[in-house]
Amino acid sequence: MAPIIIGIVAIITSFIFPMIGIIVSIAGVIVGIIGCTKKDKNSIIGLVLSIIALLLGLLMTFVTIKSTENTIDNSRKSMFSTIAKEYINSVNDAVISESVICSTTASEELSNQFTKPTNNGDYYIFISSGENTIIDKFSSFDSNISNKASEQSKELMGYGNKSPWRSKDVYGYVHFNLNNNEYTYSIALADVDGHGISKELEQQNIKRESIETKDVKVDMNKVLKLINDDSNYYCHLK
């Protein structure tokens, strides 16, 4: 009866504690094989039950691992969406407190043309949580623009501006539209490993489900061209 009892215990344990169930199942298989050499009928039944328990334990372990991975991934997505919203809130605070200056050309050399955002239109403030090489990797920005993005990201978010995926650096931009003294904010933001928001999302649409986790890139050159060609506004903190 012992092999049968071991097999039954292994099946039950595999449902509740898969890893322990696997160990018990392996023990049951060994006992069953030894019993089968003696042509013991109970050992044959116990061996079958133990094999079933072993397969069940492996399956339950796989399910548990995948469930844990999904939980961790969802948690990271939620954290990333929070970081994106905090970037928007920080830019909004800077705009309201008149700590942002803007120009129709993205060039630090034209600092004498920078003014507060007062005209109706679209304004862009760039983000880079790491050194200037982060934005340089994904764009053709000159070093002055990249350095400014890196400096102001630290001012906006302090040390809470990294990706929840292994604390990788993030880059992107906050876009705000001014229309008759009403502001609308959106953001495109990604980390260097390809997680984030590839296409602009308005603040109210930033949710866990909107965070992408594969091959995400923000087209920084497109924004730079948009500013320089279409008389939109490039902004940075004072």
Last residue of a domain, one of 36, 69, 102: 69
Whether 27 and 77 share a structural domain: no
Q: Judge whether residue 160 has pLDDT over 70.
A: no
SS (H, E, C) 30-59: HHHHHHHHCCCHHHHHHHHHHHHHHHHHHH
Whether 152 and 61 share a structural domain: no
Structural domain containing residue 227: 73-237
pLDDT at position 197 is: 94
Q: Which residues pair with 102 in a beta bridge?
A: 115, 235
Amino acid at 193: D
- pLDDT category, 110, cuts 50, 70, 90? very low
* d(C-alpha 236, C-alpha 117), whole Å: 11
Rounded to the nearest integer, the mean pLDDT of the chain is: 77
Whether 210 and 98 share a structural domain: yes
Whether 50 and 155 share a structural domain: no
What is the number of structural domains in the chain? 2
Last residue of a domain, one of 32, 53, 69: 69
Torsion, Cα 178 183 184 185, to 10 degrees, reads 100
pLDDT digits (tens, 9 = 90+) for 190-226: 998 999 999 899 989 999 999 999 999 888 878 777 7
